[in-house]
Amino acid sequence: MRVGERIKKLRIQKKYSITELSNKAQVSKSYLSYIERGIQENPSLHVLSRLAKTLEVSLEDLTGHPLNEHGEDSLPPIDPEWLEMIDEAIQNGVSKEDFAFYIDFMKYKKNTT
C-alpha cells in the first residue's frame, strides 16, 4: 500500500475530512489531496512528520517501512523528539544540505577528537 492510501485510510479511521486533516497538520488541502490520490508520490519528511503526528502514528507506520526477516522494522523507530526537532529546524529554514553539512562536520569532529 502506498503512503497516500495509508494516509487516507488513517484519516477516515480518525473520521477527519480532508479539510480537517489539512488544517490540523498545517498541510495544504490540495497537496494532501495529491498525496492521497498518488499524484504526489514523494512528499517531504516535513509533511509526513506533520501528518503522522496529527494522525497519532509513527512515521514508520505512516510510510509502511518494510519489515526485516523477523517481522520487525529494519530500522529502529524514530524518537518523537527527533521528529519535533526536525520539524522545528525545517520551519526555521534548515535545508537538507544544512543537515548533511552538520552530519559531515560531526563525523569529522568525532574522528579528530
* Boundaries of every domain in the chain: 3-112
pTM: 0.58
Q: Which of the two residues, 95 and 24, has the higher pLDDT score?
A: 24
Percent of the chain's residues with pLDDT above 70: 87
- In Å, how far from its chain's centre is CA 58? 8
**pLDDT the model gives residue 64:** 76
| Number of other CB atoms surrounding residue 44 within 10 Å | 13
- In this predicted structure, the answer to whether residue 70 has a pLDDT above a threshold of 80 is no
Q: What is the pLDDT of residue 67?
A: 42
What pLDDT is recorded for position 109? 79
Answer whether CATH 1.10.260.40 is correct for domain 3-112: yes
| Predicted local distance difference test score (pLDDT) of residue 51 | 94
Task: Pull the grid cell for residue 93.
Answer: 529554514
Rounded to whole angstroms, how far apart are CA atoms 24 and 44?
17
